Structure 1
Amino acid sequence: MRLKRTAFHIGILCICIGGSCEQTSIINDNKPIDNKAWLNTSPPSFQFHISDKTKRYDVLMDVRHTPEYAFSNLFILIYQRGPDKKQSIFRKEIKMARSDGKWLGKSSGSLYNNQSIIHKDYLFPDTGMYTISIMQNMKENPLKEITDVGLTVIPK
């Protein structure tokens, strides 16, 4: 009995030590979209701190939508402001559905979560506070059936 208990505690210790080496995200936040209608005048904004400019990061965006979302893609404008207060803007297309109409995101009940990369292996130019705002850039305004927009920044 004592041997089993010791083996159990060693197993738990190994899990704890192994798990502590995992990289955790700097930010993993979702903002709800009021009434499932994303106005292009209401871009969700996310603030986070970069403490190591020599480290690479993956920056990911999450979009949650209902099955009633009317498009197979989503165009967005990404506004990024760093500690120097300079702002960069770029446009990105996110594929939301395959050509056969099947949603690309992971299903969770009546919602689909579509995660896409904004920056891969990205080096932030300086340390300090950053703000990323995500504006929908579709012809339809408000853009209906979008429930949440999120941002995740993961150190590599």
Structure 2
Amino acid sequence: MNRWIILLLFFAVLGLLFSGCDLNNIADSNQTMPARNWSYADKVKVMVDITDSNKLYNIYFKLRHTADYRYSNIFILLNVKTPKKKRSRRYEFKLAQADGQWNGSGSGNLYTYTFPLLTRFKFPAPGRYELELEQNMRDNPLKEISDAGIKVSLIN
């Protein structure tokens, strides 16, 4: 009887460990900003190796800021680099409502967001790609940004 309980607990723990993993994520990175200040020089980067350019991917921007963040929006630049060329695109994301209510999910003084950048995106050719995010606001550094990140997921 004791063996069955141990075996059952083992498989329960194993199941919990694997259920927390998203096997479709090929990259998921976060960069903590020094002293909650995101400067132009603090670019968030991730490398992805694409073997099949026929597959579709979703690319997301992840952000956390404090309640003391001064603006209701944020502008960022996404740079997609290969050894041969670089493609850039500017995005604006709304972080708060007109009444000042934050759109993100809150935990204490931090608000968290995951915004789609490129959905159902096909990389043009197989190869190694560098995805790079930089803040594109007038303030440098941009205060009260806790961390920023990039997530790349394969679509089944």
Both proteins in one fold, TM over 0.5: yes
**Kept in 1: contact 2:44–2:150 (CA 8 A):** no
2:72 matched residue in structure 1? 72
Q: 1:85 to 1:32 in 2, by over 3 A?
A: farther
Q: Deviations over 1:86-107 (max 9, x none)?
A: 1001110011111111111111
Aligned identity (percent) is: 33
Q: Which consecutive segments of 4 or more residues in structure 1 shift more than 2 A?
A: none
Tell me, in whole angstroms, the C-alpha distance in 2 between the residues paired with 1:112 and 1:66: 6
Shift of 1:49: 1.5
Shift of 1:138: 0.7
TM-score (norm 1): 0.83
TM-score (norm 2): 0.83
The DSSP-based 3-state class of the residue aligned with 2:130 is strand
Q: Deviations over 1:61-89 (max 9, x none)?
A: 1011000000000011111102x431001
RMSD: 3.0
Tell me, in whole angstroms, the C-alpha distance in 2 between the residues paired with 1:59 and 1:44: 13
2:41 matched residue in structure 1? 41
Letter of the structure 2 residue corresponding to residue 50 of structure 1: I
Question: Mind listing any 5+ residue stretches in structure 2 that lack a counterpart?
Answer: none
1:124 matched residue in structure 2? 123
Equivalent positions of 1:18-33 (< 5 A) are: 23-33=23-33
The DSSP-based 3-state class of the residue aligned with 1:35 is helix
1:55 matched residue in structure 2? 55
Matched positions, count:
154
